[in-house]
Amino acid sequence: MGVGPILNFKKKLITGRPKKQIRKNPETFCCRGHHVMLKRSCETVTFSELKHEELEALVKFIYSDGSGLSAKEKEHVRSLYVTADKYEIPHLRDLCRNELVKSLNLSNALEVLELSLIPLDNALHDAAFCYIINNLKTIANSLEFKLFATRNTDLTVEIIRAYMARRNIYY
């Protein structure tokens, strides 16, 4: 079984905060599936949490001007957000957060709220939380809310309390 197509790209600073010096002459990477291998050495970076399409979107972002997310990157915004946090790529994380906030809707607000807890992100958490409170009558009647409540009992209580406080209902 093959490992999928190979992506070739030049070595570039991913994090903006390198942990070691990079030579001036960039080296070529070869990307197979979830691995990024440096051709002229044995250095390997593994992105096991990314699917091939998500890894491709990450590479395309690295080589973009960084001014915004492409359609392909927006398609994989959740996984790119987590990856940006894990590998300390703050600009990508900020762009992903902004996209997640802009795309909040009834069907994804609970997922975005859960996502905001992976790296504790107050801005994303507050946006998702407020969206949920403002739309709780609709969201509370969904199967997603029932499943969410099973996984996140404390957060569900927090949501209900905030909703009741906003409506001046005292418990």
pLDDT for 12: 43
Q: Which of 18, 14, 21 is nearest to 89 (CA)?
A: 14
pLDDT for 132: 98
pLDDT surpasses 70 at 54: yes
pLDDT for 121: 93
Query: pLDDT by residue (tens digit) across 92-129?
Result: 999 999 999 999 999 999 999 999 998 889 999 999 99
pLDDT for 5: 43
pLDDT surpasses 90 at 163: yes
Print the SS3 string covering the chain. CCCCCEEEEECCCCCCCCCCCCCCCCCEEEEECCEEEECCCCCEEECCCCCHHHHHHHHHHHCCCCCCCCHHHHHCHHHHHHHHHHCCCHHHHHHHHHHHHHCCCCCCHHHHHHHCCCCCCHHHHHHHHHHHHHCHHHHCCCHHHHHHHHHCHHHHHHHHHHHHHHCCCCC
Please provide the CATH number assigned to the domain covering 105-171: 1.25.40
Mean pLDDT confidence for 2-14? 43
Q: How many CB atoms lie within 10 A of CB 53?
A: 13
Sign of the torsion formed by the C-alpha atoms of 98, 99, 100 and 103? positive
Half-sphere exposure of 54 (CA within 13 A, CB side): 16
Selected residue with higher pLDDT from 57 and 21: 57
User: How would residue 44 be classed by pLDDT, with cut points 50, 70 and 90?
Assistant: low
Report pTM.
0.73
pLDDT for 145: 97
User: How would residue 170 be classed by pLDDT, with cut points 50, 70 and 90?
Assistant: low
Query: pLDDT by residue (tens digit) across 120-160?
Result: 899 999 999 999 999 999 999 999 999 999 999 999 999 99
Query: pLDDT by residue (tens digit) across 14-39?
Result: 444 333 332 333 444 444 444 444 44
Query: What are the boundaries of each domain within the chain?
Result: 105-171
pLDDT for 164: 92
